[in-house]
Homo-oligomer: A and B are copies of this chain.
């Protein structure tokens, strides 16, 4: 069960393997927003994204017998690198199913952590089939990138640290894709500080979570159209259940605002955040969050960016 206890257990389990990331502030961004903003820098986390927390918790929570058979996933992004790294730390095999057109950067990241890559055709069906085959052949355990309670509990440790460093937050802002970090954040933040508002931010071109939240049913979406590649996934069912109970609002932002937010964070704070991680600040830029003179925690979820293809440069 995902609760503060399971999040605290996750924290104890993963502490030796993750960074306690700093919380940065910027007088200039405060002045621009009128609020006091506290940026939790998960872009400085191991593998460059918060995904290290959930994957490490899931891998180290396995019993010895199960762990020996390895772990698997069919994510190709930050979760894949995080799972490969966690498996390496435990001395077991991670099987990573990746579409054959994955970027070299992503392939290298997984290889760098010793993950065993299984390439497949670049469509959802092929990925799921390849993953099922790997599970059947190896007996490995599937570690889903967000529909997994240990993963959610691991991601929830971000909010625990943030509230330890800044206990009197009024709002915490978090991006939503599959809903892993949002569900962990919401449970941790609302349990530790019931008065806090938990607000999710989502690209308008991938707004299934906002629709689901509004319609009180899990909406899926065939076409996703956003620069925020980490948020192109549909919301998970277990994640939606948590979000319905604990999240106060889901707001959407345009890609234009996401790029502006990303650039503002780079330029003003000197930290590299990927487009998906800039989505919460984009919501502030768009005035979608009533942050008045409030104290707002913002999770900068990751910093893995192709430095040869920055979105504000036209080629």
Contacts and interface: CB of A to CB of B under 8 A. Distances in A.
Interface of A: 22, 24, 27, 43-44, 46, 48, 263, 266-267, 269-273, 303, 307-308, 310, 312-313
Contacts of A271: 44, 270-272
Given A24-B44, A43-B270, A308-B312, 15 more contacts: A22-B22, A22-B24, A44-B270, A44-B271, A48-B270, A267-B307, A270-B272, A270-B273, A270-B303, A271-B272, A272-B272, A307-B310, A307-B312, A310-B310, A313-B313
23 contacts: A22-B24, A24-B44, A27-B46, A43-B270, A44-B270, A44-B271, A48-B270, A263-B307, A266-B272, A266-B307, A267-B307, A270-B271, A270-B272, A270-B273, A270-B303, A271-B271, A271-B272, A272-B272, A307-B312, A308-B312, A308-B313, A310-B310, A313-B313
Contacts of A308: 312-313
Nearest to A273: B270
Contacts of A267: 307
A269 B303 CA distance: 9
A107 to B, nearest CB: 16
Contacts of A312: 307-308
A43 B24 CA distance: 12
Interface centre among A46, A48, A266, A271 (most CB of B within 10 A): A271
Pairs A-B, 7 closest by C-beta atoms:
A270-B303, A270-B272, A43-B270, A22-B22, A44-B270, A271-B271, A266-B272
Nearest to A268: B48
A246 B228 CA distance: 50
Contacts of A266: 272, 307
Contacts of A269: 44
A46 B27 CA distance: 9
Nearest to A265: B272
A307 B312 CA distance: 9
A115 to B, nearest CB: 16
